[in-house]
Amino acid sequence: METIRILQNIYEELYVARKPLANFLEERLPALSSQWKKECIENVLNEKVNKNFFELDIYYLLQILLDEQNWHNLKNLFPKDEYYFEEENKILYKKVRQIRNEVMHPSLSSYTYADFLEQEKTINSFVNVFSQEKNLPQLILELHQAEKTKLINIIEKNVIIPELSCEFLPENIIKSIKNTRTRLNIQNTAQGIISFFNDSLNAERGKEICKVLHKNSLKSFEDIKSEVEKSYYS
């Protein structure tokens, strides 16, 4: 596995791992103070925060949780949550924070597949602390499905549905559109959809269909390329 791909996998795992931690903090921090956002978040991060928990990087979420005052107050106010505040778990949280820093500032020459496996094991343990219902692979699968659905919805809304509703398109074009819908839906990931999307753009058949669509005042893949790419890379 290439180093860059390894780092991408770890980054993706950290991205989904932040969700159960964000849920945990969102449910508890407001109970600490009427000024909890300023006292528990902004004072810890030393900056004004306009984002919600689910938009914050996992590093910042861990900074908030591991802050000495927040840790003390949460531990005392929620005694039934003592499991989350065990010393073993605190060490685990710090390890995940360290992994996040290593991923953002990697030493590419020394990063190995063994490092990836060890880090993945740590992140999975972290997820298991905060999410008893879903493990790391399940969260990643949910992320891929959400990304895939978002892209398909853009393509369906702007291209496929209007085309299939048009009474003036030739039958062979309609057949191609239906085939395109089928092939989009059998892709397992958003990356697969992007690859198929770009292949269709560059294919001669795709260019022929584009001309026919424009003659009928319909959008083609070319017309929504920027919107699809923005959705995928955002």
pLDDT for position 147: 83
Q: What is the maximum alpha-carbon separation in the chain? A: 70
**For residue 85, which of 77, 8, 188 has the smallest C-alpha distance?**
77
Judge residue 51's burial from the number of C-beta atoms within 10 Å of its C-beta, 0-12 exposed, 13-18 middle, 19 or more buried.
exposed
pLDDT for position 214: 93
Q: What percent of the chain has pLDDT over 90?
A: 49
Q: What is the pTM of this model?
A: 0.67
Of the listed ranges 14-23, 47-56, 106-115, 208-217, the least confidently predicted one is 106-115
pLDDT for position 2: 66
Cα angle for residues 151, 26, 71 (degrees, 5° grid): 130
At 201, is the pLDDT very low, low, confident or very high (cuts 50, 70, 90)? confident
pLDDT for position 110: 66
**pLDDT tens by residue, 149-190:** 889 999 999 999 999 999 889 999 999 999 999 988 888 788
Domain ranges of the chain: 3-133, 140-233
pLDDT for position 178: 92
Name the average pLDDT for the chain.
87
Torsion, CA 122, CA 54, CA 81, CA 89, rounded to 10: 20
pLDDT at 80 over 80: yes
Of the listed ranges 10-19, 69-78, 136-145, 206-215, the least confidently predicted one is 136-145
pLDDT at 1 over 70: no
Is 58 within 8 Å of 100 (Cβ atoms)?
A: yes
pLDDT for position 108: 56
**For residue 7, which of 135, 92, 106 has the smallest C-alpha distance?**
106
**pLDDT tens by residue, 108-155:** 556 677 888 898 899 989 988 988 767 777 777 777 788 888 899 999
Q: What percent of the chain has pLDDT over 70?
A: 94
SS3 state of residue 221: helix
